[in-house]
Structure 1
Amino acid sequence: MSKGNSTFSVLGSDLSIKGDIKASADLHIDGSVEGDIACSSLVQGETSVVTGAIKAETARLAGTVNGSITARELVILKTAKINGDVFYDALTIEQGAQVEGRFAHRDTKPSLSAAPQPAKQPELSVAN
């Protein structure tokens, strides 16, 4: 038996969760979550609704998010509806995605100022 970190958790479309979720594993959400999510990698299905903050190393969002998103690598698919601020290192947005909020490139060190840093050139790609 090999001891690895390759665990994967799925929350099906029939699940509705109230409360925060913390997972060291990869997480796939098709249901609805009312609470904050912190995980290594998040995949959100088209029918999923998340109301709360998302923090992940990588995130691929296809559903609805009402809350802030912080991710190192973020992909927002064309079916996504995001209502909240987005903090990222690398960002891909498919044509047709809806985002109501502010985009900000994450600083490598915390800053006391909430003002955006105009000197930085964030990585942004738009997929067709």
Structure 2
Amino acid sequence: MFSKKPEQRPASGTPRIVANNGSTFSVIGTDVTITGDISAAADLHVDGTVVGDIACASLVQGESSRIEGAIVAETARLAGAVKGTITVRSLVILKSARIEGDVHYDALTIEQGAAVDGRFAHDAGGSAASPEEPKSEDEPRLTLAS
């Protein structure tokens, strides 16, 4: 009469958390350390430690987290320690962030108090922005938040 449907899992066997809007995201908790590269088609929230490169749609980094490796994402909001190259379309660097490495971006916001030891390069080297999109010269590219 009442039957329970078997749990649906992706082909890889890795469970996914589905948000209310139907998009997926993954969380790396404060007690987790990952050694190796991470590739995610969805959003990623990192509160733990990652030693390796990260490629994802959107990255949110917690204050106590640490990432040692390159980051490639459409959007990123960084609050912890990063040691590596960052390539994103839209980047927010919070005041608690400590970054060592070059930053390639299309749009950038930096809170007062954030520390970045590296070079900034606009337009993410052309890799994060679509070449078909026209660029508006009066569009703000760098924002300093207080």
Same fold (TM over 0.5): yes
- Determine which structure has more spread, i.e. the larger CA radius of gyration: 2
Partner of 1:127: 145
Structure 2: 5+ residue runs without aligned partners?
A: 1-20, 128-138
- Runs of 4+ in structure 1 off by over 3 angstroms are none
Cα displacement string for residues 28-55 of structure 1 (whole angstroms, at most 9, x for unaligned residues): 0000000000000000000000000000
Query: Is 2:100 the partner of 1:83?
Result: yes
Question: What's the TM-score, normalizing by structure 1?
Answer: 0.85
* Distance across 1 between alignment mates of 2:88 and 2:111: 17
Of residues 105, 114, 118 in structure 1, which corresponds to 2:122?
A: 105
Identical-residue share of aligned pairs (%): 67
Question: What's the TM-score, normalizing by structure 2?
Answer: 0.75
May I ask how many residue pairs the two structures share in their alignment? 114
Alignment of 1:4-43 (within 5 A): 6-43=23-60
Structure 1: 5+ residue runs without aligned partners?
A: 110-120
TM-align CA RMSD: 1.6
The structure showing larger relative contact order (alpha-carbon pairs under 8 Å, at least 6 residues apart) is 1
Per residue, is there more strand in 1 or in 2?
1
Cα displacement string for residues 2-30 of structure 1 (whole angstroms, at most 9, x for unaligned residues): xx760010000000000000000100000
